[in-house]
Copies of this chain bind each other. A is one copy, B any other.
């Protein structure tokens, strides 16, 4: 039998978790490559291990990061579900197309700007 881990994400925990730049960098790192250890993540940041650990705990409590133990290591994975739920809260199906198009347009204009 398959059990699904609590996708149930308390709103507040998710948004509070995303509010810190260090934690967003951690998500970026996990977006690049999943399954990293604390040591690994720590090395990319100018902060003590304790700081990083605290941040990872907050991300985990929010459900943005899920973990798996492997021996004495703890592997971290990005869970995109809460992110999508933020999106769905304020962007309905009809607006989605417009917004994406607008962002694409903006990117295009900025591209032209650079050349």
Chain B residue numbers with a CB within 8 Å of A28 are: 89-90
Please tell me the number of chain A residues within 8 Å of chain B, measured between CB atoms. Answer: 33
Is A54 at the interface (CB under 8 A from chain B)? no
Assess the B80–A95 pair: CB atoms within 8 A.
Answer: yes
Of B21, B78, B103, which is within 8 A of A81 by CB? B103
Whole-angstrom distance between the Cβ of A100 and the nearest chain B Cβ: 7
Q: Which B residues are CB-close (under 8 A) to A53?
A: none
How far is B95's CA from A31's CA once the two chains are assembled, in angstroms? 11
A→B interface (CB under 8 Å): 4, 7, 11-12, 15-16, 18-21, 24, 27-28, 31, 78, 80-81, 83-91, 95-96, 99-100, 102-103, 106
